[in-house]
Amino acid sequence: MKTLVLVRDAAENDPLDAKYGAFSSLPASTKAVVDDYRLCCNLLRDIPGFKISNCHTTQSQPPLNLCGSLMQNYGLRVCMWVLGISALFGNFGVIVWRLRHRGEGNPGKKIHSFLVLNLSVSDFIMGAYMLMIAAADIHYGERYSSEAAHWRSSAPCKVAGVLSVLSSEASVFFVTLISLDCLLCIVFPFSRLRLRETSAHVVVIGGWFVALCFSIVPTLVVDSNSDVYGLSDVCIGLPLTTKAAGVQLEPSDVDNPFGDAGALQIVSSTGQKPAWILSIVLFLGVNLCCFLVVLVCYIAIFVKVKRSARKVKKNSHRDRDIKMAVKMALIVGTDFACWMPVIILGILSQTGAVQVGAEVYSWIVVLVLPINSSLNPYLYTIYSSAMAKRSAQPSIEKSSNKVLKPKTGSIETVNSSLSDSKPI
């Protein structure tokens, strides 16, 4: 087994520039000790069969160290572009449609439309973030590993990080607010506690302000070595990694090339600690609470409708019941698919039960985070509009046979709320 040592004097801080194929003559069993972790990527690139575990560094390296391009495979790259474009243009269409029809309908419908409009704006921002990361992947290409440190500390990465946190938290807030509004209108239709036009504007402005603070403040108070973006190539600090609580120098089996007594020392970590406390609070605390609120709201709505349906025995109501249940399952299911993988993996990684690698981290960002942003336009606007049109055109036979009983109530009122003013 050959040992390759590429270590410079401590005064040399400039990165080494290894040309393509510089290490191709070395065998796969080569053991390397380097002072720049990016050289490990060069060895992996040039030597077929080389194992990254055989490369040791004399400096600490980030836990999410990528070799190669930013998006590790073609599938990731395609998904990033498809979901990013879907979120961007789908939500742009909803924004335009909602603005054109913002003055239509009763007060309840106007408020609901206003909330969905803001949800679409937040999801539109997520589409912009994804396309920024996709563009960075194309820009850097295969040389990304040598430019990773520069990218993570660059202004575009910080802007992308601000957009990702702003979009994610604002979207969570508006989905929760829409769910609570539906709960009040359907489960408690006679309650005085209701969103009015003024209160809706105040709550929405407050939500944007809080989300903006969560996204901008960390960027303003951090330095280039911060854990906010320094640990993530996709510029969002999900709580899926830990960092070394401390480092220590351990002697290697290589003699010190600088003539000092003893062996060359390499860096090893001593224990692990959370990488970014704010990300744990946001993604594991706030998002989990919001998901539970959304889940409870839709369970309560479904129970209310089922109880009301028992008072009116009609096949048409049963069909509406099924359609509503399917839609609620889609909404809760997409929320679950978006938030719970991050929450579960975050808890497991912070407790040390699992270690999330760079590629898994990228897949979560590409496939998990944008699910809501890509599907919300269809769930809250397109699907609801289609159902409303179908409900507004009942058959003549059903209309002529419709009898309003003295106990009007319940299912008629609920279904009217669902299809007319408050599409779930």
Average pLDDT of the segment spanning 51-66: 69
Beta strands in 242-357 (DSSP E): 242-244, 247-255, 263-269, 272-274
Going by pLDDT thresholds of 50, 70 and 90, the confidence category of residue 411 is very low
> What per-residue confidence (pLDDT) applies to 259?
55
Residues for the chain: how many in total? Answer: 424
Question: Is residue 406 pLDDT above 90, yes or no?
Answer: no
pTM: 0.78
pLDDT in tens, 127-167: 999 999 999 999 988 888 778 778 888 889 889 989 999 99
Q: What is the DSSP letter of 418?
A: I
DSSP codes of every residue in 346-378 = HHHHHTTS----HHHHHHIIIIITHHHHHHHHI
> What distance in Å separates the CA atoms of residue 133 and residue 88, rounded to the nearest whole number?
14
Q: Which long-range contacts (CB under 8 A, 24 or more apart) does 297-301 make?
A: 297/179, 297/180, 297/182, 297/183, 298/179, 298/328, 298/331, 298/332, 298/424, 300/183, 300/187, 301/182, 301/183, 301/186, 301/187, 301/328, 301/424
Question: Is residue 29 pLDDT above 70, yes or no?
Answer: yes
> What per-residue confidence (pLDDT) applies to 211?
94
> What per-residue confidence (pLDDT) applies to 383?
55
Give me 411's structure tokens. 């299912």
Average pLDDT of the segment spanning 305-326: 65
Superfamily, domain 74-235+275-421: Rhodopsin 7-helix transmembrane proteins (1.20.1070.10)
Provide CB contacts within 8 A for 10, sequence distance 6+. none
Provide CB contacts within 8 A for 255, sequence distance 6+. 263, 264
Going by pLDDT thresholds of 50, 70 and 90, the confidence category of residue 402 is very low
Delimiting residues of CATH 1.20.1070.10 domain(s) in the chain:
74-235+275-421
Mean pLDDT (the chain) is 75
pLDDT in tens, 269-302: 565 666 677 778 888 889 889 989 988 988 888 8
Nearest to 422 by CA among 182, 134, 214: 182
Cβ atoms of residues 167 and 123 within 8 Å: yes
> What per-residue confidence (pLDDT) applies to 396?
39
pLDDT in tens, 372-391: 888 888 777 665 555 555 55
- A 10 A CB-CB count for 189 gives 14
Nearest to 218 by CA among 164, 274, 286: 164
Cβ atoms of residues 385 and 104 within 8 Å: no
